[in-house]
Amino acid sequence: MKKYLERSMKFEEYIGLIDKLLSEGKTTGPNQSDAMLGYGQINRRRMSRLDRTISVSAELKAAAKQVSRSMLWLVITEGWCGDAAQNIPAIEKIAAESEKIETRYVLRDENLELIDRFLTNGARAIPKLIALDAETFEVLGFWGARPAAAQKLFDDLKAQGVAKPLIMENLQRWYNADAQTSIQKEFVELLKLWSVRATAAAS
């Protein structure tokens, strides 16, 4: 994992890269079609809105404060990804609640060998968060690419043969209705689990 951390970006660097590419009429990744650029522009605006509006629950704040051993959260993502735009602002808000958590970002399509170790139902779905012990770089666990309820919706619609664009529309409606509640509930439990694993690994 160390080599991926060495090539990773802080959140500010990741956002800076997205903004620079968008100013040049581009997005991240090898596919530079008009459609992908459009997704990149929409999702950058979505991230900005969520950054302003997400409020971390009291339960999640308490769980974050209980983290006793330093972690690195390595997030695999791309600037055009709708799920990343919905979930990364929440991930950043959660991490900010603990002095023991630091986030790093890498692009999926530049690190296929990494994402292939953390597939979602056989797919290179993003964002994928890999929780690492900050000292040993041991993998404590992972999350992604979506909250469990959103993943079930995706899987069900896919099994029904619904076209990908319509699946994504349904997912965005789900995210809007959920208002980041599900991801926060999931991370309350994940923080506890990863903290226990980190402590056990250190002993």
Assigned CATH for 2-146+188-202: 3.40.30.10
Instruction: Say which residues have a Cβ less than 8 Å from residue 163's Cβ, sequence separation at least 6.
Output: none
H or E stretch including 77?
strand 71-77
Q: What is the pLDDT of residue 199?
A: 85
Residues of the chain by 3-state class (helix, strand, coil), percent to 5: 55, 15, 30
Measured between alpha carbons, how far is 129 from 38 in angstroms, rounded to an integer? Answer: 25
Q: Give the DSSP per-residue string, 27-51.
A: -SSS---HHHHHHHHHHHHHHHHHH
* Percent of the chain whose pLDDT exceeds 90: 95
| pTM of structure | 0.95
Give the HSE-up count for residue 30: Cα atoms under 13 Å, Cβ half-sphere. 5
Instruction: Say which residues have a Cβ less than 8 Å from residue 109's Cβ, sequence separation at least 6.
Output: 28, 29, 30, 78
pLDDT tens readout for residues 85-97 = 999 999 999 999 9
pLDDT tens readout for residues 2-27 = 899 999 999 999 999 999 999 999 99
Measured between alpha carbons, how far is 130 from 141 in angstroms, rounded to an integer? Answer: 6
Q: Considering only 52-56, 135-139, 198-202, which range has the smallest mean pLDDT?
A: 198-202
Strands 71-77 and 101-107, bridge-based pairing = parallel
Give the HSE-up count for residue 169: Cα atoms under 13 Å, Cβ half-sphere. 5
